[in-house]
Amino acid sequence: MFESGQPTNPTTRSIAELGWDVLTRDDPDLGALLDAEAHYQTASLSMVASASMAPPSVLCAHGTVLSNVTAEGYPGARYHPGAVHFDAIETLAVERARRVFGAEYANVQPHSCSSANLAVMGALLPRGGRILSLDLDSGGHLTHGAAASVSGTYYDVAHYGVGPDGHLDYGAILDRALEHRPNVIIAGASAYPRWMDFSRFRAIADRVGAYLLADISHIAGLVAAGLHPSPVDYAHITTTSTYKQLAGPRGGLILLGKDHRRTAPDGRTELWKLMQRAVFPGFQGTPDPSSIAAKARALAIVSSGAFQATMKRVVDNAKALSDELVALGYDVLTGGTDNHMVLVDVRSAGLTGIVAERALEECGILVNRNKIPGDPFPPAVGGGLRFGTNVLAQRGMGPFEVRACAGIIHDVLSGIDVRDSSHYAMDGALRDAARERVKVLCARFPLQFDDK
């Protein structure tokens, strides 16, 4: 496997160091692209709400010899030999996930939160079973029963939306639940800037005899830091992705709280056992050991005081961004935010989501277009923009810098010449000035790509 002259018994550390040299030597094209990506991330202001920057030790844990381990099953009950160290690593990840979220049970094997959600639904619902979830235009997620997702074709899905003020209306959700009689209610969003009241969701679920699934992918860091109420003891099952606010690898978790021993729909199996089987062998074969090691590392970082401070800055920054955008005349949905996310209806500024997204990207600011409640545009265009403050906070920026970002964003969006719903023109001087301001901010708050 190693070139002659290279160590024959390398330590993990030397494999990591050797790996980069071998890659750039043997595949300079790929090496150059990876280098270019690192520079691009350093020089861009990422305000994509689902993004975070994985710390170097998480990236390191993800790129190790564990990639060579094949081990279906769970620790102590594998279908392949040679899992002694991987067993210990998966056990560590499970223990850390349980501790971070105060959970009774954790499954760290899902390849993503999408797979976790599908495993949960597949285990709890019969074919054609009924789901009630937030609709896509109101901030829901594809895997919560959207028509384009397998979850929307296998199950009978009804949606709740948001009220005229953009907030969830729990009375209306109860009415929808009484009407649709779902087997599973999903509380979760990918574009909702306010707290979710999981206790009220649970009361609604209990009223109609449904299981409650909370998908906290976007807010998992805030939940872990105690800055958003936790669903773990309200929902029967909680899922999350690990690469968003947890700043870990691509992957998912399934967490169970006080209902972990409650019986599943068959009336016999305990929920935690159902989840074990649902992930493996139900929806996945071999787990990804590298990803599980990186989850273990990310969850250790999530337990630290530094992570808590970052999450506080995430929320402070989002509030500052929202206030500044409102002051600049933008239509901020719900008038503000409780989490890391700010949603703006850009139509009143004479824009569409795609035009605004592309104009900002041209200047080094990454924000994604989003559907908004009552949106007349298709998803590829969108009437809204979704901002997030995870990465700005990770870079060490605070409200002062975030207000500066809002100023650059406003100068770009108010300076472009909009041609139609998808096209615009930008003056070169405007672009150069914005890029220079982005460059200066990014240089003052660099991303950390080493362990110093």
Instruction: List the 341-345 sheet strands across, edge first.
Output: 331-332, 341-345, 384-388, 368-370
Give φ, ψ of 427 to 5 degrees: -65, 135
* Shortest-Cβ-distance residue relative to ligand DSN: 50
Calpha distance 133→188 (Å, rounded):
8
Which residues here bind ligand DSN, judged by CB under 6 A? 50, 141, 190
Pairing of the two strands 365-366 and 252-256? unpaired
Task: Please identify, using beta-carbon distances, which residue of 107 and 370 lies nearer to ligand DSN.
Answer: 370
92 close to 99: Cβ distance less than 8 angstroms? no
* Nearer CB in complex with ligand DSN: 52/190: 190
Nearest distance, CB of residue 50 and ligand DSN, angstroms = 3
Nearer to ligand DSN by Cβ, of 183 and 190: the residue is 190
CA distance 384 to 331: 10
- Name the helix (H) or strand (E) containing 425: strand 424-425
Query: CB of 388: closest distance to ligand DSN in angstroms?
Result: 9
CB of 3 to ligand DSN, least distance (A): 39
Output the smallest distance, CB 190 to ligand DSN, in A. 4
Residue position matching structure tokens 């719900």: 334
Hey, which residues does 270 pair with through a beta bridge?
263
Nearer to ligand DSN, 264 or 314 (CB): 314
State the DSSP string of 358-402. HHHHHTTEE-EEE--TT--S-TTT-SEEEEE-HHHHHTT--HHHH
CB of residue 390 to ligand DSN, shortest distance in Å: 11
Order of strands across the sheet that contains 156-160 = 105-107, 252-256, 237-241, 211-215, 184-188, 130-134, 156-160
In angstroms, give the least distance from the CB of 264 to ligand DSN.
27
Nearer to ligand DSN, 190 or 322 (CB): 190
DSSP for 120-184, please give it: HHHHH--TT-EEEEE-GGGT--GGGT-TTSHHHHHSEEEEE-B-TTSSB-HHHHHHHHHHH--SE
Q: How far is the CB of 11 from ligand DSN (least distance, A)?
A: 35
User: Which residue lies nearer to ligand DSN by CB, 56 or 379?
Assistant: 379
The residue (of 139 and 257) whose beta carbon lies closer to ligand DSN is 139
**Cβ closer to ligand DSN: 69 or 216?**
216
CB of 141 to ligand DSN, least distance (A): 6
